Amino acid sequence: MNHYNIENKFPYLGIPTFYNYPHSKDLNGIDMAIVGVPFDHGTTNRPGTRFGPRAIRNASQNYGIYLDPKYGAYDTELKKHIMGGVKAVDYGDVPILPTHTHTNMSMIKATLKNIVDKHVFPVVFGGDHTITAPLLEAFDVPLDVVHFDTHLDFVDGSENMKFSHSNPLKRASELENVNNITQIGIRGFTDFESNYEESLNYGSKIITASEVFKNGTSWVLNQIPKSDNLYVTFDIDVLDPSIAPGTGTPEPGGLNYFQMKELLINLYLKGEIKGLDIVEVNPLFDVSEMTSLLASRLVFDFLGSIF
């Protein structure tokens, strides 16, 4: 193949859409749409994830220069091109209204529903983890959820805190279309025993970070039940803060890049992936864009296995 003409596509030029995909609201004939949700009103610790979608897009410019419209990107480790021929757009952001949490939940759901109803694969950038509950509501099919996180996110808040980043999986467990939940990478001191028991009582499969290290990624994948439809929610703090410091509630002892990549790129073996969100990227606490760059790379690795 000919070398892709990279003239005028350097990372510091142009409008920073994800991997330089075109910005468009037109979903006709589109396979995949990226949408940002700059919402961090549910944060209980360090705010700033509202800037996550833009930071991930900016960081992706480092790779977007090498994305050939026809062949995709060449993965030197896999020794093949990925994402070739995939018709994708950067859909832009949900217009979040500050302090209007319930209104924002409705707008998040409506935006995603517009995408999935057109049979377009959604890739959602948060924002804090609150956004996952309304995203799941947008699907009309039964879903199993694969949840990568440090935290269980199963706190049952009061009515004033019904939606926060401490309870999206609790809210998910209440949805009629959500069945099995597998929670991977759990660790640390920021979950109460009652949260752990409530997750187990629902029927969640909980896999701690130390179990990932001890047993390996193949073992972890074997613990995930097969399903017709899978939804993946990926909190960046599942990774160790040494490689992903830009997050609101970091916790030592997290997964590394290769473990995360192996888990993500093999999830297609467990069922059809229906959607993905990546949340809790906080550029205000990042170092040299490390976290944003890692997020953009892992998303693209994952998409390469799906498409």
**Is residue 237 part of an annotated ligand binding site?**
yes
Measured distance CA(274)–CA(116) in Å, rounded = 9
**Is residue 149 part of an annotated ligand binding site?**
yes
Check: CB of residue 63 under 8 Å from CB of residue 18. Answer: no
Measured distance CA(120)–CA(138) in Å, rounded = 13
**Is residue 128 part of an annotated ligand binding site?**
no
Check: CB of residue 306 under 8 Å from CB of residue 273. Answer: yes
Radius of gyration (Cα) for the chain, nearest Å? 18
Measured distance CA(79)–CA(92) in Å, rounded = 32
Is cis: bond before 127, omega within 30 of 0?
yes
Measured distance CA(90)–CA(18) in Å, rounded = 6
Longest dimension (CA), the chain: 59
**Is residue 228 part of an annotated ligand binding site?**
no
Neighbours of 33 (CB within 10 A): 26
Q: How far apart are the first and last CA of the chain?
A: 21
**Is residue 156 part of an annotated ligand binding site?**
no
The two structure tokens encoding residue 32: 């995949």
**Is residue 40 part of an annotated ligand binding site?**
no
Binding residues for Mn(2+): 129, 149, 151, 153, 235, 237
